[in-house]
Chain A
């Protein structure tokens, strides 16, 4: 009985997991992100973005004549599941994987890819990271096989503090972050960099709260209020930012919010609800209403086709740069592409030059500070049909965003 069942299962497993065959001339990129469960809306958004970009490349003849295909793989934001999916991708002959949601997933994948490439020379796999911002990925844990197009959280803080340097009205800053590695690095970087650049600024509070567990932020708001802060810096995302802002609006707290992810899915809706007009700021590598014409044209075309705003300008940079690197290397061999990417300079979507630092495979690019609220006449793009949108406040040049790295890269 058991033998029968095991055999039947095995047979089914084969047909389901290994049965797909791919044409030899396509260049497949495994997209490993949540496509079911709580994170699905984010993952679907990313998938549509990458598929749009693949179509864009294919319309221009693909990469070195290879048609680009995005293979969606659902990881449910679970590191173990991600490794299973990565294995699946490798079995299907995929040599490039891209992922963004969850630093825990990123760390697991980076480690997995590195081990896989060491144990299977000749079958190397490259990992393109478009959104996981844990600095460790390009520092202690850095790997030759990992490239990151999003700015690490330390880079964003470098940019933010360089902006704050020129805003004398900021006097008392309150830090509130989620209690996990990302939130902690935001907090630590903020303390360190503010102390260096604006020693006169007082840090009146430094809060870590558990990740995605708080249903009522009013106690925290009471503390912020009691501290007399004029600005709050937070790396919160998801419901933690939405609930935080909601509680602040309820209690009538008037401060400026400097955030990493207020623009994430659902964020704009929440801000509009609270009525905090141009009090919430975000640090990103590009914004829809930036005023740079090619980027605005892209945004318009993208919205028309995909019916969502471009969350990931970095994904555009990633895919276009991948094509450029392959063409530079005249090969789609992962090792050669990786070597071509190292140190490569590239004109980013929102204008200005970025480069892929050879030391740690971190991409550096101009960073924007923008605020969310009512739009001016020359700002056509709103978010989530709220009628409000992002308004550019400041642009931090690439050179102003560079942070040192501790990476000791092992090259093959």
Chain B
């Protein structure tokens, strides 16, 4: 795989759809909205056309912040706060490690990180059972 990539000379510079600046603006507005009204925003990166290399450019701009979380439910998920507090990058993988979805979420804590009521109820029951066993 690597040897093939090395033998092919592919120029990828110079492409741009021009989608990055408006996307960053959208993120900025969303952050403002979060601060003012407490509303969260999710952006689906798959719905935007990107030129080769452009998405990486975006991720580079967002960078890696203080928090990085790994989730394991129906495959892995990576949840990373960008260098901008409140701006999160969420990547869902399937069991084969293939990307299933890429989102930018502007929120205090991504919803998926919070313990879910149904799960907690189930856990409560399980804990109860465990206690009874003891």
A and B associate: no
A→B interface (CB under 8 Å):
none
